[in-house]
Chains A and B, each alone.
Chain A
Amino acid sequence: MKILVPVKRVLDYNVKPRVKSDGTGVDLANVKMSMNPFDEIGVEEAIRLKEKGVATEIVAVSVGPAKAQETLRTALAMGADRAILVQTDDEVEPLALAKIFKAIADAEGPGLVILGKQAIDGDNNQTGQMLAALTGWAQGTFASAVDVEGDHVSVTREVDGGLETVKLKLPAIVTTDLRLNEPRYASLPNIMKAKSKPLDTKSPADYGVDTAPRVKTVKVSEPPVRSAGVKVADVDELVAKLKAMGVHS
């Protein structure tokens, strides 16, 4: 079984985003960029399925600028077999991304597509579900466990009240949640080896997908700032403050 793993290049998890003063977006100039953490979990899960003998080939895909190659090389260094860069400098919305991934899925015929549940820049949480709709496949979103059993996959999902398990017919779409696994670091030899793994470059037009945005960003602003209150000296003062607000047992 082949597994398709979409990965996105985003502002690094540890960098505090700064809103540009002209209100057009978040400043991405000269800041560290990395693979979306949820996508990293997706790559790791695919590798574990390959190590278990369930998967035979892992294809990493990224839609983004030329520099997204670095993100794909990271996926290859972790253990993906080959990569496809769908190169564009435009910001591509989840719906158009899903259309591109659908076209790639049609061409590659994967048994599973494993995506991050959301990218930590746009926080949309849509692409996997949209891809499932377009392919007509079942979806196991916010996964914390994935078990392939014959022609089905059983997915344990993180839902508001706890956990839920669904059984999906393959091929299927899985989106990852935090507790699915802990992604490995690529070793130096593997980073070297990744440089010679195949990486194809395509364009959205190659897949017949129009990436013109449907949603216009009017402006991006700083969130309202919450100001610090007071420090209380001890528990007694805190109890008094709380009681004054009507908070007591």
Chain B
Amino acid sequence: MKTLVWVEHDGSAVKDATLAAVTAASKLGEVHLLVAGSGVDGVAKAAAGIAGVGKVHVADNAAFGHNLPENIAPLVADLMGSHDAFVAPATTTGKNIAPRVAALLDVMQISEILSVEGPKTFTRPIYAGNAIATVESSDAKLVLTVRGTAFEKAASTGGSGAVEAVSAGGDTGISSFVGAEIAKQDRPELTSAKIIVSGGRALGSSEKYQEVIVPLADKLGAALGASRAAVDAGYVPNDYQVGQTGKIVAPEVYFAIGISGAIQHLAGMKDSKTIVAINKDEDAPIFQVADFGLVDDLFSAVPELTAKI
């Protein structure tokens, strides 16, 4: 089987989510990559170095500069003439593009796969991760998105893919990119961080989040996260949100501070290697999944932890 993996990048570097998608694709067969964008020579070169990669298709065109699915999906559909599976990381970009490709190919997509069980059989979470479905496709081609935390990352070096320019596609003219407000954080990205410090509603305010959560994260070089309740209450922006409706994370250590542990939050972090919970309420569901639980007032315990660690 020949797979075509969507390379997610920021214009200069390949994003980690791509590497997990490469691992998933390699379980199906030959791995080809698609690098689409504007001025992406450097990305193409880096992508060609990913271990185990065959051909790297490079579509360099201003129309592909902002991942507009209206322009990208026809390009992918065209390349799928010579591939059997389109594999994209389940990022907001992958989720935006892949179903549009699937419909153009008249294929039912399989979203957020957790494992490859056979050439057309996969597992995936349903009901916010409260159930795992094993599903089998009967379509001639496959369109998959891959949950990044469920697969090892392929090595980003050691490969020697052959770079090939693709001239297909262009601007459909029905959509345009206006702008972005991408939070500039001087810390690791949530989805690839080794340590995450998350705060919940018990913090009570944005000021307390800054005062209590941020110093611990700073000290540990950790990414910052939050529960949906904390986001809804306006303590932090939405891109901090960990959970079924936010980001799915699986760091080495996850600190859940003042987070009760709603099902939807657990769905986003329960694959973390070690979970540390600090909460005043000893009956909070978070303690049922925590490796280390501390029943204490977070406003005194967390500063003490920050000072002593």
* Contact A139 to B100, CB < 8 A, known contacts A121-B127, A214-B139, A238-B292: yes
CB distance from B26 to the nearest CB of A (A): 22
Q: CA–CA, A127 to B175, complex, Å?
A: 19
In the complex, the answer to whether B239 meets A230 with C-beta atoms within 8 Å is no
In the complex, the answer to whether A178 meets B245 with C-beta atoms within 8 Å is yes
In the complex, the answer to whether B100 meets A133 with C-beta atoms within 8 Å is yes
In this complex, how many residues of chain A approach chain B with their Cβ under 8 Å: the count is: 78
In the complex, the answer to whether A133 meets B99 with C-beta atoms within 8 Å is yes
In the complex, the answer to whether B129 meets A94 with C-beta atoms within 8 Å is no
Q: CA–CA, A58 to B180, complex, Å?
A: 31
**Looking at the complex, which one of A95, A120, A128, A241 makes contact with B108 (CB distance below 8 Å)?**
A95
Q: CA–CA, A218 to B133, complex, Å?
A: 7
CB distance from B24 to the nearest CB of A (A): 17
Which A residue's beta carbon lies closest to that of B304?
A235
* Contact A235 to B296, CB < 8 A, known contacts A126-B109, A166-B68, A226-B289: yes
- B 116-158 to A, binary, CB cutoff 8 A, 1 in contact else 0: 0000010001111111111111110000000000000000000
In the complex, the answer to whether B127 meets A239 with C-beta atoms within 8 Å is no
Q: Does B276 contact A (CB under 8 A)?
A: yes
B interface secondary structure, majority: mixed
* Contact A26 to B308, CB < 8 A, known contacts A95-B108, A133-B103, A164-B179: no
Q: Does B181 contact A (CB under 8 A)?
A: yes
In the complex, the answer to whether B121 meets A218 with C-beta atoms within 8 Å is yes
Q: Does A163 contact B (CB under 8 A)?
A: yes
* Contact A226 to B270, CB < 8 A, known contacts A165-B178, A214-B138: yes
In the complex, the answer to whether A26 meets B104 with C-beta atoms within 8 Å is no
**Segment among B30-38, B42-50, B88-96, B201-209 that sits at the interface with chain A:** B88-96
* Interface magnitude class on chain B: 35 or more
In the complex, the answer to whether A239 meets B177 with C-beta atoms within 8 Å is no
Q: Does A137 contact B (CB under 8 A)?
A: yes
**Looking at the complex, which one of B109, B128, B191 makes contact with A124 (CB distance below 8 Å)?**
B109
Q: Can you list 28 pairs linking A and B with CB atoms under 8 Å apart?
A: A17-B127, A26-B130, A94-B108, A127-B99, A132-B100, A132-B103, A133-B100, A133-B103, A136-B174, A138-B175, A161-B239, A164-B177, A165-B180, A166-B68, A167-B178, A178-B238, A214-B108, A218-B136, A220-B131, A226-B275, A228-B288, A229-B291, A232-B294, A235-B305, A242-B276, A242-B292, A249-B219, A249-B220
Binding site for B on A (CB under 8 A): 11, 16-17, 19, 26, 93-95, 98, 120-134, 136-139, 141-142, 144, 154, 157-169, 172, 177-179, 213-223, 226, 228-232, 234-236, 238-239, 241-243, 245, 247-249
